[in-house]
Amino acid sequence: MDSDHIFSQDIRRTILLSSYISAWGMPLTRRITTKEDFQVEVYFFPAKQDGLINRYATVGVSGKGSGANKSHNWELFMAVPSDNAGATQAEIENFMFDVMCFSLQDNVQFELGATFPETPLMPASWPARALLIDEPRAEPEFIESISVGEETVNLLWIVPIYKSEHDLIVNSGLADFDAATEKSEWSLAYPLRYPYA
């Protein structure tokens, strides 16, 4: 890895982490995966003393080029209860790395509002096993889009959803799913919740 690339990664990490820390406080841990000159990190932000939600976020997905040298403009985020809904920290981090690899495939339309069918890669204790890619609801607005130089990096929320919810979104649209969430007392951040549909 050449020094210019390392410097660029360091700048990107500094800017993204600064935004994450402003929103969630200091991270407790970091896990790194590396392939050739490509490095992605997952940071764990534990629930604050007065909070109920753990947060996990990547640094390094954005700026990665693939296909016709296109650059990806997103990082990934998960919000889960402070007990991780029965999953281990390692399971959630591994899952985020799996989603990251999937999101970078040239044939995958990975964007806001996209849904994906059930996957065995989801943490074993979570019955909601399909995916919705959403904006980071209930988070500070400044965290949704972060300026990194001339680039805008969007933070995409990986939301575990049930097969019935995936089917609802595919067949009827995201608005119907949103309407169902508003009628429920269960948070989208709780993977053990009952299905909305």
User: What are the residue boundaries of the structural domains of the chain, listed by start?
Assistant: 3-182
> What pLDDT, in 10s, does the model give residues 112-149?
999 999 999 999 999 999 999 999 998 999 999 999 98
The model's confidence at residue 81, banded by pLDDT at 50, 70 and 90, is very high
In this prediction, residue 175 carries a pLDDT of 93
The model's pTM:
0.93
The model's confidence at residue 7, banded by pLDDT at 50, 70 and 90, is confident
Both tokens of 24, joined, read: 């969630």
> What pLDDT, in 10s, does the model give residues 169-191?
999 999 999 999 999 989 999 99
With contact defined as beta carbons under 8 Å apart, do 143 and 19 qualify?
Answer: yes
The model's confidence at residue 66, banded by pLDDT at 50, 70 and 90, is low
33 vs 49, which has greater pLDDT?
33
In this prediction, residue 48 carries a pLDDT of 84
In this prediction, residue 65 carries a pLDDT of 57
83 vs 2, which has greater pLDDT?
83
In this prediction, residue 72 carries a pLDDT of 86
Check pLDDT > 80 for residue 37. no
Pairing of strands 53-59, 130-134: unpaired
- With a CB cutoff of 8 Å and minimum separation 6, the contacts of 63 are 8, 12, 71, 72, 148, 151
Cite the DSSP H helix spans in the chain: 3-24, 89-103, 163-172, 174-182
